Structure 1
Amino acid sequence: MATATRTPPSPTTPQTAPGTTPRTTPPRRPRRGGLLRTLWGSTIGKKAVMAVSGLVMLAYLVAHMLGNLKVFFGPDDMNGYAHWLRTLGEPVLHHGWFLWVVRVVLLTAVVLHGVCAWQLSRRDLAARPVGYRHRRHRASYATRTMRWGGIILALFLVWHLLDLTTGTVNPRGQAGHPYENIVAGFGTWYTNVIYCVAMLAVGLHVQHGFWGAAQTLGVTRPGLARLCKGGSTVLAVVLTAGFLSVPLGVMTGLVE
């Protein structure tokens, strides 16, 4: 005579008494700051941070280049412009506070940009520990030199601050006399070499970085994509020419 066997209940199925409502586990509340941590931990999030911080630095470069061109209008215009920057925002801001706000924002953008670039580079190497057997240079020169360009610009930023902000390495180095400091600084061959190499790196970095930022931020329409790609080249050329015009003006005697 066969005996019926009872199938034990599944451990994953909760046992409830007849006529009662099964108990459900309430959903966990997301931890505070969880979205930001998720964004920061993802590859697309880091690329977005790089894109936004890069656009912040690009806006500063455009404003800085336009301000540098004041040097061609003589010492009164250049020194007056520098004084105006220190009084901008008064009386809401104290004297010189606007420049410090800009410096803090710019430093934050530089740090975020550099950290994301380093972390993405590490992820790229970890995902491809063995190099390709046959290397084909399909990317542009600007693309292949983005990392070295970033290192060059970081080193140049330190030199530039020591030259025209603190005056440590400037032959004149007097606060409140930017026109005279510019003429004195670009009167040395080594400053001209450092500055010209760095500005060429800026052009390559902007040309590739602006286009990369547009792609990261979702520029996919063909017409807008072509506009951004062409605009990145035009912007890189204009910035490079604008920045290089200052040392060339000093070297040719146009600015003295």
Structure 2
Amino acid sequence: MRTELEVLEKRLKDRFVKAFATYHLINDDDHILVALSGGKDSLCLLELLAKRARIQHPRFAVEAVHVRMENIKYETSTDYLQKFCDELGVKLHVCTTRFEIGDATEANIKKQKQPCFLCSWYRRKKIFDLAQELGCNKIALGHHQDDILHTALMNLFYEGRFGTMPALLQMKKMPLQIIRPLCLIKESDIQRYAELRGYQKQIKLCPFEHESNRTNIKHLYDKVEQMNPETRHSLWNALVREGKLIENS
């Protein structure tokens, strides 16, 4: 009889393979750079990609990058990430960047971008630069299906538009595609897999982490899903019908 870990691992692999087949995320001769934050999602993503690359169908190469923010302590043990990558046979690049935070006065807060936006922007910039330097044609991000659905609701309720983070995004200004191979996988499955596999948790979470619009949307989504268990499928199908999961930028 198969163990819980074996059953869960098969489900993750099946959903992962279905995602890259459905949305054409991986092709022969791809060179993929995985954004490895050290959280459960990016660790799971790297593991699935690295193990799939060994099958050589399709044939593709995988590398990983971990970006440290010099002036914000949002950390994962580099030693752990290096060991994790070594076990998978994946080369790890560790980069450092930073951004300036203005005085926390009301006037400055209104004028400047929020720290979460700036942190994400500078991390992404570092990842894009490294991807082009290494000759990668794709960057893989660890957003799962819940992230994509919650983003769709946030855009609808707060911006008045129907859209989300696509499974496949073709960048117009650079020869890169952004892919999200976990797009068909539930967060709860990744959470349980991380527990069973013994993924090491991040040393210190971001000091700016707090209740946000995304947190509120997550609570709202959970309540709606309790009322209607088919909510996940209905919202996902709406995104598919409107062509929101494959986009150009």
TM-score (norm. length: structure 2): 0.23
TM-score (norm. length: structure 1): 0.22
Instruction: Tell me which protein shows more strand as a share of its residues.
Output: 2
Instruction: Tell me which protein shows more helix as a share of its residues.
Output: 1
